[in-house]
Structure 1
Amino acid sequence: MIMKIDNFESKTIDIMKFIGIVFVVIGHYPGDYFNIMSPYLFHMPLFFFIAGMTLKRDSPIKNSIRVFLSIAKYSVITYIVTGLIAISLSKKFGIDLGYPFADGVIDTIIYAFNQNFHNNPLFLVCWFLLAYCTSYFISSLTIFLVSYKISQKAYHLSLTIIAIFFGIIAVKILSPYYGETKLQYVNVATQTLYASMFMIIGSAFGLNLIKRINSQASIIIFIILSFIYLAKYIQPTIMSWSIYPSGFLMTTTVSLLCISIVIYMSKCAALSGSTDLFVAIGKSSKHVMSYHLSVFLLMDFIFSKFGYWDMKNTTVFKHYYTPEMVMIYPAAGLLIPTAGYYVFLKIKARQMANALS
């Protein structure tokens, strides 16, 4: 049941990450640029689907611990950095950028968890990183257990049934319960199970879909999505707060259809020639996701110095906006964290080389 990712598939996956992070960044800037494929219809499920495509299917406990430790270290550093930025800007300009730090480390962790990490609005996506850890464990363990002495046909069928079961439990049972109780652990459980559904489906079918998706299927899918949008059968999903207004079937169907379009677009781009920029941003998607909101504030500060914007009007989702800024802000949100990441890698490589010489 072990599937190896070749160079073309790896390139396609990186471009999928690029497209996904473009939708994330644009979704956090004022304005509505997409309708048929609105970011909040699929962008978070896409990243869990991609995680499934790259998920290692052996040693689930060991791999889950490795993933958790890596993400925990990254999350702590990023939380502190973005939290300090938020506090500094709040004090300097008198703007509301949350309350990142409570009294002491333990109190901060508890408070951040109970607030779904939205107490630090510059690092909203921390909820995603926690859900990634928990869903990675559940998905890898499920896939490992199902793959034990089972035929390939039964393997895919079993994973599909289990994935759908997880999704139904999340949307039909846990989501309404969270809406009633507002218990954060229920919210995390909902995020985890719904994310696990996409991760398992991505593991079972993602690489095969890269091979099989074609222009005819993509056009049909786009027509279906257009009809669903025009008929107003779908509403945006807010996965971080377990809000699924369109129900399980429509929400999941639209997400998977959008993901299929992204796979086809990525496949075409991977076949077309030079995609170095797309791949670089795709490889940096975690850092773009973590720091693009801070970049938006940096852009606000720059334009305020030229007299175009008053920093007192800035919030995490309110920024300097004109038709000309529609491309500039998202481009900065994508490129600055990417450049920073590659500069960091170069410095780290140079330090290692000096240490070995």
Structure 2
Amino acid sequence: MMEKNSFSISHEQSLTMDYVKAFGMIFVLVGHISNDIFNVYSAYLFHMPLFFFIGGVLYKDTRCITNFIVHVIKKQLPYLIITYLIIGAIALLINARYGIHTGDAFSTGLYETVKLAIKSNFHNNKMFLTGWFLFAYIFVSILSVIIIKSIKRVVVSNALLLSVLVAISVLLVTVSITYISPQYILVKDYKLNFICQVLTGMSFYIFGYVIRNQIYSLLNFYVFILLTVILYVSKSYGFSTQTIMSWSYYPDGLIMSVINALIGIYAVFFISLLITRGIKEIKLLKMIGQNSRTIMAYHLLVYVILDIIASILGDYSLSGTDVYDNHFITKWSIPVYIALGLLLPLIFSILKQKVIGKMKLSGVLQSIKS
């Protein structure tokens, strides 16, 4: 019997998803440096909900819950830990050599370091701010799939299944933004912040799963233009300001925060599909999308390296600077920062994959010889 809401992805859709992830990363990098590149589609209206939504769109029903949990933990947790240690160690060296405020990545021991990172929302390791997303994503993907799998076991009708999942998605984001977010803002309890992150992330993950078979047919030029106008007017009247998902900050309220995020997601998907259908495959953009996790993890390190280079050249003072709040900003530097913030981690990721591939090949050859 065919599985409910079965999902297969074509080459066009696969390439579009790579472009979606690439544009998502561009918005992340733009959002982490002072600029006014995107006046209407501001990164902080939608860029983090976008990545949770992508997770739902790409989720495959091929694993049982237990295998999926093991897969997610094995894939995400070691990467999170290793990247945290690497960037944290580099941060210590940069702070000691140049005096840049890089935070306190490490505490007195392993347990204390883990507790510090979680309680600080990973912002204690200032060059690895996106650690919060990688950590939350583990829980978002696991809990979302548990819900999806559980509902599929008891609901026979595919239409009813999707309706129930939409209702759950709405419930999760309502509870998160309407009730938990204000409570966190009031008491500043890190556990509430984490719960809010996870519930909001689950809402977009589940919704991405629900419409993954329909999303490409919903993309339309006139709708894109209409939504862009709506967002422009909404921003002009102050209804659409920003969403800081990492700190559970939703000043626009539930409805506008969700609308802003969905408009941004729609725009990124539409532009990505437009490029896929109108232009020959853009290999660089595709590779950026395929290596988005590494770019997300290391782009702030690249920004700091560029700050140091600017300081050495005599154009910038590092005195009292912070790795997140202060960068070398001129009329020409922002495109350089964003371009190298994308390209250098991409090169690092490609080289790492080649080294790992050669090591695996060497191991296979050794086993054959023996």
The two structures have a TM-score, normalised by structure 2, of 0.94
Render the CA deviation track for 1:190-209: whole Å, top value 9, x for unaligned: 10000000000101113421
State the SS of the aligned residue for 1:228. helix
Q: What is the aligned partner in structure 1 of residue 368 from structure 2?
A: none
State the SS of the aligned residue for 1:311. coil
After TM superposition, the structure 1 stretch with the greater mean CA deviation from structure 2, 346-355 or 184-193, is 346-355
Matches of 2:147 and 2:232 in 1, distance apart? 35
Amino acid at match of 2:353: L
The 8 Å contact of residues 57 and 212 in structure 2, kept in 1 or not, is answered as: yes
1:217-256 correspondence to structure 2 within 5 Å: 217-256=223-262
1:249-288 correspondence to structure 2 within 5 Å: 249-271=255-277, 272-288=279-295
2:315 corresponds, among 273, 290, 308, to 308
Q: What is the aligned partner in structure 1 of residue 350 from structure 2?
A: 342
Aligned length: 357
Matches of 1:254 and 1:85 in 2, distance apart? 36
The two structures have a TM-score, normalised by structure 1, of 0.97
Q: What is the aligned partner in structure 2 of residue 29 from structure 1?
A: 33
The 8 Å contact of residues 101 and 320 in structure 2, kept in 1 or not, is answered as: no
Matches of 1:168 and 1:252 in 2, distance apart? 10
1:60, CA displacement in angstroms? Answer: 2.5
Amino acid at match of 1:116: N
Amino acid at match of 2:336: I
State the SS of the aligned residue for 2:345. helix
Matches of 1:259 and 1:275 in 2, distance apart? 21
1:117, CA displacement in angstroms? Answer: 0.9
Q: Percent identity?
A: 31
Q: Return structure 1 stretches of 4+ with deviation > 6 angstroms.
A: none
1:132 corresponds, among 115, 133, 137, to 137
Q: What is the aligned partner in structure 1 of residue 150 from structure 2?
A: 145
Render the CA deviation track for 1:83-113: whole Å, top value 9, x for unaligned: 0111111111122110110001001001111
Please provide the CA RMSD for this pair: 1.3
Render the CA deviation track for 1:13-72: whole Å, top value 9, x for unaligned: 110000000000011112222221100000000000000011133423321232123211
The 8 Å contact of residues 95 and 314 in structure 1, kept in 2 or not, is answered as: yes
1:344, CA displacement in angstroms? Answer: 0.9
Q: What is the aligned partner in structure 2 of residue 184 from structure 1?
A: 190
Q: What is the aligned partner in structure 1 of residue 66 from structure 2?
A: 61
Matches of 1:38 and 1:60 in 2, distance apart? 36
1:313, CA displacement in angstroms? Answer: 4.8
Matches of 2:118 and 2:74 in 1, distance apart? 17
Q: What is the aligned partner in structure 2 of residue 169 from structure 1?
A: 175
Render the CA deviation track for 1:255-274: whole Å, top value 9, x for unaligned: 00110011000101111212
Render the CA deviation track for 1:270-312: whole Å, top value 9, x for unaligned: 1121211111001111111100000011111222222212222
The 8 Å contact of residues 231 and 240 in structure 2, kept in 1 or not, is answered as: no
Q: What is the aligned partner in structure 2 of residue 211 from structure 1?
A: 217
Is 2:356 the counterpart of 1:352? Answer: no
Matches of 1:343 and 1:168 in 2, distance apart? 43
Is 2:339 the counterpart of 1:331? Answer: yes
Matches of 1:300 and 1:160 in 2, distance apart? 45
Matches of 2:121 and 2:234 in 1, distance apart? 31
